[in-house]
Structure 1
Amino acid sequence: MELVKRREDCCGCRTCEQVCPKGAITMVPDQAGFLYPQIDDSKCINCGLCLKKCAFQSGYPMRKEYEPFYGYGGRHKKESVYSHSRSGGVFVAMSDVILQKQGIVYGADFDETEGFYKVSHRMAQTSEERDRLCKSKYVQSDLKDSFSKIKTQLEAGKVVLFTGTGCQVGALHQFLGKEYENLYTIDIVCHGTPSPKLWKEFLKMREKEFHGKVTNVEFRDKKKKGWKKHFETIWINGKPYTSRIYAKICFGSARPSCYECKYANQNRVGDITIADFWGHENAIGEKWDDDKGISLVLVNNAHGMELWNTAKEDMDYVDVTGYPFRHSNMKAPTKRKPDYVEFDNELSNKGMKYIAKKYAEYTPQNYWIAKIKKKFAKKG
């Protein structure tokens, strides 16, 4: 059985592993930390179920019913919510609907088994657990056994909300193989999923540089630099360090399938699609133009509209249906820069310091020189 002929034909969703009746498939990381299936020939019975259930091999079910989208721009009515979120807090409004029904919410969080080094999908059943799923995490999330758990929970009558990238949402629907009225899915407009190894090596570099351990992470710290700028803040032993090192390089290390993404189009796979509302000023004028975040909500079908109609009670919003959304990844996949072709090999063979210097023009000396200049500029 040959499951993956090209690395570009696998998103690492673990569907094949989860559906194999003989447990013949395990997921193994490549040099960049991306997971790929490995088949144990001694266990494989060539049933073909892995190929049948692979959304990349057999196509994925579209969720979009409405043409054009029902589109909305807005943010949560509570400042404490949208300040904690990366955009306007719409995920909180929607997940609150599910939690109020004693349902279960799935999303990406830092993996407790590896601290801040790894991101995995997990379930939340309380608002406190859900809050850990908020905020952008620019590294591919390991789905682990989420799909199998979700199927069991759906069959038991639980209401479930799953959020993830387009490939993850498409894979879930393909894995389940049928519609569930108690399942809601939200896909995000995705630029690509950066390398788990890159993220881990980046944190290790910062820990070594500042002589401590990572105690917190903000991939996009809008409290320091605003919503429109992309700066990450890493806390080492409780002290924050803000930079654009990771922001400059992360999308150059995306999974190979991301550069040929089958989901980077307007045929969305989730009941609802959410994103930062870039270009909002042309759609809604200066409303909320305070650099604190605005969410874009695209409702793709009647099932999604059911969820939105309840969630919007907690939102201030404007109808932008018919607006020509400028998000490039709703039109085409992210293009890999020509100079990033050797990126993964360089990371493995030359290390993170080399990567940071070559692609982000960063050295520790540059960092401290900039800090000193900034300090004296303030005094002057």
Structure 2
Amino acid sequence: MALQPGADVIGAGGLMFFGLGVILRVSGRSRLRRIVLLACLLVTATAGAQTSRLATTAETLIGSAVFFHGRTVVLKQKLLSDGDVARLADAPRPVYVFWAEATSRDEGEVRGEFWDLGRIEARDGRFAGYDFARLLERVNRGQWPGRNQIFVLLKASLLPATTPRGPSVRAIALAPDDYVDREVKVIGRFKGSNLYGDLPLALGKTKWDFVLQSAEGALWVTGVRPRGKGFDLDPSKRVDTGRWVEVTGLVRRQGVTTYIDASAIGLANAPAETAVEVVVPEQPRQPPPEVIFSAPVQDDRDVERGTPVRIQFSRDVDPRTVKDRVLVSYVPPAGGGAAPAGVLKFAVTYNDAAHAVEIKFAEPLERYQQVKVDLLEGITALDGQPLKPWSLTFTTGR
């Protein structure tokens, strides 16, 4: 739902109130329809809330396709006509656009849901309304693609690209090449060391690196410790997030990552909001992920002591949520006695193509021992759906 021009907006301590008779536009699958609210609508912004859309570039979108898969994005783009479908110009790989409403423009802010066709099933009912067959017949010999081959923007719209009055987090995120090596001064929320997953990649320059977020945009900031008169913020603590700060520095690029090499930081007031958008979900969420295969299998016996453990999920999980949530231990004998002493050392890696984790042990396991592998609470899919805690037991051989 997008707030229409002319509505009364009064800011008060981070809260926004909308007067009676506000007209909102509700995006439906079939068409747009307007409704009039006869009561006040209260929108509360919290530090941890994620924006409904993510401002990015085509290069970053393709470079971090797993992160953006299934999310709504906005890009400042030129468009090309490719047969009966549009695609993003100058993208590293083709991104085809399926419009919610036809447009005659070929440049502006493109908004839509980003999907990697290779990461969804050909018969997924959520996409029954889209004619992918015609596109695939022309660009992929009619075959359903593998991962990272063909991308689409669905329910897309195109708005005129406005010229910003000055640098902002959103403007830099949309068009970083316009600002690279320029000094800027921008205001945004302090979001810690990407504690809310606003950006796909870590910067990794110093322990004080933090994310600055405002509107639909987010940028990494490095070069300064986030402290000054009246504030001392820790990037690793959520309790410190949500404060508005002003950062001065040079815009830089590191691969597909845009960041600010800061020279100064200070507290700031929240900028005036110009629009509020509430997204009404139109598609049902996918079911939660689950374990569909493991090697060894449950209660397996005579397992080789040096073999890795592989666990496959029904769909992609967020690799960041797997870290520190895998536990491996020896099970004490049923008849009494103690399990082997010492801490099991192992490494966990996530295979994106197979959506599976692999556990490799630093040393062979003890002979004739029952081993238990636990996936702890907190592992989620990319859309936040939780994996139920799960465990596997097996017994080693000689």
The answer to whether the superposition gives a TM-score over 0.5 is: no
Q: Considering fraction of residues, name the structure with more strand.
A: 2
Sort the TM-score into its range (normalised by shorter chain): under 0.3
Q: Considering fraction of residues, name the structure with more helix.
A: 1
Higher Cα Rg: structure 1 or 2?
2
TM-score normalised by the chain length of structure 2 = 0.21
